[in-house]
Structure 1
Amino acid sequence: MIFNYFYKKNLMKRLLLVSFYLIIAASAFSQTNTQAPTVPEYISKGTIPAFITYKAPDSTVFTNKDVHKGRPTLLMIFSPDCGHCQHVATEITSNIAHFKKAQIYMITWLPYSDMMSFYKNYKIADYPQITIAWDSKYFFLPYFHVQSYPKLIVYDKKGKYVKEFQGNIQIEDVWKALGKK
């Protein structure tokens, strides 16, 4: 009988202790509402972000302060070995007259040597309105939520966000976003 009394008392203590640990564990593993904002910062902010890159052919520093005001801007985040990126680069260079009022910045995070091969293959030096740059700090992909290549972001002549394109892109849609009819 005394044994029963102590057994029941210890059982109650054990149940209470286990319950306490379960409550603590449940609260420790419960999820908080940490969802990312539904509108990415580059859209909500609506302006070209601060950045540092290194442009071809001489790897000079190129920042957002070097972006000319008063002209529409096209940012193209690309991979030099991406077929869609190569197609868009061909479309841009073949139709450069449609981009004469725009400034185009092609940016890659892949090795500088890959960027330079792309630069030479597409003869970017022949197009003064195109700047190609290396994102050594890996800023552009996460900031612009790049999920496929290329990703094009259009800003108007005041530097305000207009529209974005990603993946399989129709170049005529890009002209329209830049203000060309």
Structure 2
Amino acid sequence: MMTKMNFHCRLVAVALMLSAFACGNSGRPAGADKQPSASTAERQETTQFHDPVPHQPTTAQPAQVIPEFTFYILRSGIRFTKQDLPKNGNKAFILFDPTCGHCQHEAHDIGKHYGELKDVNIYFVSMNDPGLMSTFLETWAKPLVDKPNVEMLYDRNADFINRFHIPSQYPATYVYGPDGRLKTSWNGERPARAVIDALKN
């Protein structure tokens, strides 16, 4: 049986793996470019994860129902759990890395089309440094800043990869309906129109 220490080590290893290999942007810091500028060809490149823990393969399927979780609201540090989710509207969880170019582009596209998404609850979730997270929306998706249906959540204990899914690429997007059941999910970047339609339908 896996001990608590071994389990914790596995979570740390997976978190480090996600940070290191999730996005092919050469580790460029968030805010290095003030406007998304990658070419279409560059944006379509993806970096697959390498499993750092033998005998512990990535989860094949995402959670079909929103699982129990504990994240922390970035701006206040207050705990945010499944019980805090609103009852109405789709709930979109986006696991991201603030330095990932693909994540920056998806956030930019969502911000650009925010007018279509006012009824969708959008949660940007990251295990990365809260300092990097704090400037992400301001830099890449300013129209989403301070919107009542958009929240930036810090995943302090790697609950996402433990309970929702271990994705193959960033950004990893999971859309659940008002009933809490999974409607659709994808890993990596998609065209803006496909993202917007998936979030709101």
Q: CA deviation at 1:133?
A: 0.5
Instruction: Output the CA distance in 1 between the equivalents of 2:122 and 2:103.
Output: 14
Cα 1:149–1:37 change in 2 (3 A) is: closer
The two structures, once aligned, show a CA RMSD in angstroms of: 2.3
- Which secondary structure state, in structure 2, belongs to the residue aligned with residue 91 of structure 1? helix
Name the aligned partner's letter for residue 65 of structure 1.
Answer: Q
Aligned equivalent of 1:14: none
Q: How many residues align?
A: 144
Partner of 1:128: 148
- Residue of structure 2 in register with 1:70 after alignment: 88
Map residues 4-153 of structure 1 onto 2, 5 A cutoff: 40=61, 42=63, 46-121=64-139, 122-123=141-142, 124-143=144-163, 144-153=165-174
Indicate how the Cα distance of structure 1 residues 80 and 38 shifts in structure 2: closer, same or farther if over 3 A, else same: closer
Contact 1:156 1:178 in 2 (8 A): no
SS in structure 1 at match of 2:135: helix
Change in Cα spacing, 1:65 to 1:168, as seen in structure 2 (3 Å) is: same
Shift of 1:175: 3.0
* CA shift for structure 1 position 39: 5.3
CA distance in 2, matches of 1:103, 1:82: 22
Contact 1:56 1:119 in 2 (8 A): no
**1:84 to 1:50, Cα distance in 2 relative to 1, 3 A:** same
**Residue deviations 1:86-126, cap 9 Å, x none?**
00111111110121111000000011111112144244433
Structure 1 residue corresponding to 2:177, chosen from 153, 156, 166: 156
Is there any run of 5+ residues in structure 2 with no aligned partner, and where? 1-54
Find the aligned partners of 1:41 and 1:150 in 2 and give their Cα distance: 14
- CA deviations on 1:35-62 (whole Å, 9 max, x unpaired) are 97985361xxx21111111112111111
Structure possessing the higher radius of gyration over alpha carbons: 1
Q: Alpha carbons of 1:115 and 1:37: their partners in 2 closer, same or farther (altered >3 Å)? A: closer
Sequence identity of aligned pairs in percent? Answer: 27
How far did residue 159 of structure 1 move?
Answer: 1.3
1:172 paired with 2:181, answer no
Q: Aligned partner of 2:153: which letter? A: A
- TM-score normalised by structure 1 residue count: 0.71
Structure 1 runs not aligned, ≥5 long: 1-33
